[in-house]
Amino acid sequence: MFKLLSKESNIFSIPVYIGFLLLIVIIFNILNFNTYEAIIAGIMFLGIALAYFCFHSIALNYQTHLPLFLYTFFIFGLYPGNLDIGIAVSLLTNSFLLLLLTSTNEDIRKKSYVLVGSIVALNFIFLPTTWPMAVFVIIHVVATSEKIALNLFRFLLGIVMIALSYFSVMFFLNFTSWNFDYFPFGKMKFVTDYNSMLPLVPVALLLIYAVYDHFQNYNKKSPISRYKYTFLLVFSVAQLVTIILYMNKSYEYLLLLAFPSSIILSRMMKFLPKYWMQEVSLWLIIFSLITFKAGTYFQLF
């Protein structure tokens, strides 16, 4: 299967995966269909469908099907069927952030920081536990911008615009009291029961090895590849902070790591020295995700 998925992919392959994704969303929601769930499923579908185009934007997939296939399987394995609207919105906003911040056009990136700030603020409104994403963007601006102060001002301006709009709408609707649910720092609950996540241990070990292998061969990578891979790693750390602090047993939070994990694992498998290692790694990931899906869906653990 690895050789089949390693064949060249192009933009026309994406609708096939999006169609399969739509089928997954429909199957898991057909027995629990209502207007609210349909809206959430629609937002999630848009976010994940947009993420397929991010693979070509980041251009770390070597034009193969492997990361697209892995991403589809991650969604299948981690999607619980009924999703919180905050996670759905976060998946959509993350896709927009990836498209904007990984653009190879410097002019587009620097002009998009107001929009990036607005997206981060909107993400916080729907899911306050995603505040590490704002820290990630600030680190990205400081590390990559020539005019740090100006771009930080643009980013903060986007946040302020959404904040003023939000408070104005809430005041107009006569919601004048502060809801402390929007202050996430007092609700940190570290994961204490890992039994349900045991099937994902092989995936976690492969991810650790993939990061180790990247830095082991760091000097062999091109400057562009190093930059984009570092971007993905910092992006993953921001998602991981949210997961560690706030996931508890809400395993749908793991969907936030599906995109970077797909690229990191696919690159690791591509550079494995033996074909059998590539094939075993691929099937190990598939088996782990199917086992996790069965365990959470049928509550086996």
Short-list 251, 255, 230, 245, CA closest to 295 = 251
Look up residue 127 and give its two tokens.
């899911």
Q: Is the pTM of this model over 0.85?
A: yes
- In angstroms, the CA 158 to CA 160 distance is 6
CA geometry: angle at 204 spanning 71 and 294, to 5°? 65
pLDDT at 158: 94
Q: What is the pLDDT along the chain (301 residues), one digit of tens a residue?
A: 666 666 666 555 777 888 888 787 777 766 666 777 788 888 888 998 888 888 877 876 667 788 888 998 899 889 887 788 899 999 999 999 988 888 767 777 777 899 999 999 999 989 988 999 999 999 988 888 888 899 899 999 999 999 999 888 888 888 777 777 667 776 666 666 677 888 999 999 999 999 998 888 878 777 778 888 888 999 999 999 999 888 888 889 999 999 999 999 988 888 888 888 889 999 999 999 999 988 887 766 5
CA geometry: angle at 39 spanning 70 and 48, to 5°? 20
Look up residue 290 and give its two tokens.
């199917």
Maximum pairwise Cα distance, the chain: 64
